[in-house]
Structure 1
Amino acid sequence: MLCEGAIMIALSLVLGLLKVFELPQGGSVSLEMLPLLLFCVRWGMGGGLIACFAFGILQVFIQGAVSWGWQSILLDYVLAFGVIGVAGLGKGKPGGIFWGSILGGAARFIIHYISGITIYKIVAPTEIFGTVFDNPSLYSLVYNGSYVGIDIVLCLVIFGILYAPLKKYFTGADLKK
């Protein structure tokens, strides 16, 4: 588990550097959640939380952090990526890779959303996607939803394509004795 966790964290860090697009206040579309979600669903929530928190901490140092102080680093990196570990609740369950991914991605979004309405409200009013936002709650919903939602959908599509040939790995059947 330890070796697989280290490999998945490293792969996530590399995939996080390959961004489809990046938003001005941080946040980007990438496949960095893919290996983390797979690890969580294979090994469960305990190991998943540890691996995801480790990824969040390493991400600050390796990929760099866009922040407005230590609070936003704690929320947008350590906690937001750490809670992806709840995807581990899908371990051993039918379709666990899919609903676990949705659960982990939703948990990440919730932390980013909280960060947006508490810390990043200082940038309001602001414009994004051609619309000016005065309301920090709506801004955070649109801003964070725009990239986290796409990340979740990309992961689900890739897991859907790979599910039939790699089902025993997605369900952790290869780990059973």
Structure 2
Amino acid sequence: MDNVMPSDKERSFVDILKSIAPYIAIAFIILSYLGFAGDFIRIKVDGNKTYYTLASILSDFSFSCNFLVWIGVLLPAAAIALIAFFPKKKEMIFASMAIMIVSTVFTFIIKDLYASKFKNAESSFALWGVWMPSFMAISTFILLLSTCESEAYTVTDICECGMLIAMAFVLNFIKLFSMPTGGSINLQMVPLFILALRRGPIKGFVACGLVYGLLTCLTDGYGLATFPFDYLIGFGSTCVLGFVSKVVFDSKRKFYDYVGILLIVAGGIVATCLRLLGSTISSMVLYDYTFADGIVYNAAYIPLQGLFALIVTVALYGPLQKLNKIYPVR
């Protein structure tokens, strides 16, 4: 009997930590704005160092990537709003985590983006520039732990995710055709769309963004530097379809219900646009493309991949409805 009370106390303490974790994340997000307190980055050109505050970078509209800095700074406010208004909705906590991942990555690359304005420039974070991405990363990690803790992975989940990831991995090597400017068209996104629809946004992001993204990043041969934008955001974006899965597979839906089809198409379009944005930013950061050039290059194949994947996924909607009735996802 003496052993019962400590376990109950321990369990209640864990429950308390789970309930306040989103608010701890908010505190770290707010602390991240200390990046405005002083010098954010230093740029070294021909041996001369110049310090720039975050405010001066935001107000420099001659900087072509200025809008990306604004996105990185403003997105955390959206994450705070989602957590504050929906503290117990795990989907909203997950959406906040996804927002913070994007914002953290954008903030980490501010110094490299701004250095591209200058010829033969070297960049590094100044004292206050370390605060922002560091606290953003901490808040992202807390939100990730909070969402993953609320998701139980059954043997069925692992097996189905594994099979769909394996299908996507094989389809990645089966090219329908290659584009003259680079990139190829294949059907790798079809299993990822289905995975997100079947397993929801959280498991969809973990399976498609983290697992499949890392797997393809390691085998494509472009280096780990491409992982955050081309793979984590690129394939993790499929989790958008997970947000509509409950409506798409509602038992009241008719066979090939038009509302379900519209939601699949809308989710697929948003996911494809996010993948296009991620790959465009990767082109800007790694290959010194302008935003316009990056869009043109990646738009030659990513939208077509999304289109082919959507056509196949919509065609499979009816069989997926029947599958979900036989093997419903709880």
Q: CA deviation at 1:86?
A: 2.4
Q: CA deviation at 1:106?
A: 1.9
Q: Does 1:102 align with 2:232?
A: no
Identify which of 35, 38, 42 aligns with 2:191.
35
Q: CA deviation at 1:140?
A: 1.0
In the TM superposition, 1:141-160 aligns within 5 A as 141-160=295-314
Aligned residues: 159
Q: Does 1:58 align with 2:225?
A: no
Q: 1:113·1:144 contact (CA, 8 Å) conserved in 2? A: yes
Q: Does 1:73 align with 2:241?
A: no
Residue in structure 1 matched with residue 245 of structure 2 by the alignment: 91
Residue in structure 1 matched with residue 16 of structure 2 by the alignment: none
Structure 2 unaligned residues grouped into runs of 5+: 1-156, 249-259
Q: Distance in 2 between matches of 1:176 and 1:45?
A: 13
Q: Deviations over 1:67-124 (max 9, x none)?
A: 5xx4323321233222322221121224243322222222211211211222222xx5
Q: CA deviation at 1:145?
A: 1.3
Q: 1:22·1:29 contact (CA, 8 Å) conserved in 2? A: yes
Root-mean-square deviation (Å): 2.3
Q: Which moved more, 1:101-110 or 1:40-49?
A: 101-110
Q: 1:37·1:100 contact (CA, 8 Å) conserved in 2? A: no
User: Which structure is higher in RCO with an 8 Å CA cutoff and minimum separation 6?
Assistant: 1
Q: 2:229·2:282 contact (CA, 8 Å) conserved in 1? A: yes
Residue in structure 2 matched with residue 175 of structure 1 by the alignment: 328
Q: 2:264·2:314 contact (CA, 8 Å) conserved in 1? A: no
Q: CA deviation at 1:39?
A: 0.7
Which of 1 and 2 has greater Rg? 2
Q: Deviations over 1:27-50 (max 9, x none)?
A: 321111110110101110011001
Q: Compared with structure 1, are the counterparts of its residues 89 and 47 closer, same or farther at alpha carbon in structure 2 (3 Å cutoff)?
A: same
Residue in structure 2 matched with residue 12 of structure 1 by the alignment: 168
Q: CA deviation at 1:24?
A: 7.6
Q: Distance in 2 between matches of 1:141 and 1:160?
A: 26
Q: Distance in 1 between matches of 2:275 and 2:222?
A: 17
TM-score of the aligned structures, taking structure 2 as reference length: 0.44
Q: 1:26·1:66 contact (CA, 8 Å) conserved in 2? A: no
Report the 3-state secondary structure (helix = DSSP H, G, I; strand = E; otherwise coil) of the residue aligned with 1:93.
helix
Q: Distance in 2 between matches of 1:114 and 1:104?
A: 15
TM-score of the aligned structures, taking structure 1 as reference length: 0.78
Q: 2:198·2:329 contact (CA, 8 Å) conserved in 1? A: no
Q: Compared with structure 1, are the counterparts of its residues 80 and 26 closer, same or farther at alpha carbon in structure 2 (3 Å cutoff)?
A: farther
Q: Distance in 2 between matches of 1:157 and 1:5?
A: 21
Q: Compared with structure 1, are the counterparts of its residues 74 and 37 closer, same or farther at alpha carbon in structure 2 (3 Å cutoff)?
A: same
Q: 1:43·1:88 contact (CA, 8 Å) conserved in 2? A: yes
Q: Distance in 2 between matches of 1:85 and 1:26?
A: 26
Q: Compared with structure 1, are the counterparts of its residues 99 and 33 closer, same or farther at alpha carbon in structure 2 (3 Å cutoff)?
A: same
Q: CA deviation at 1:154?
A: 0.3
Letter in 1 for 2:229: L
Q: Distance in 1 between matches of 2:281 and 2:293?
A: 11
Q: Distance in 2 between matches of 1:15 and 1:93?
A: 28
Structure 1 unaligned residues grouped into runs of 5+: 125-135
Residue in structure 1 matched with residue 148 of structure 2 by the alignment: none
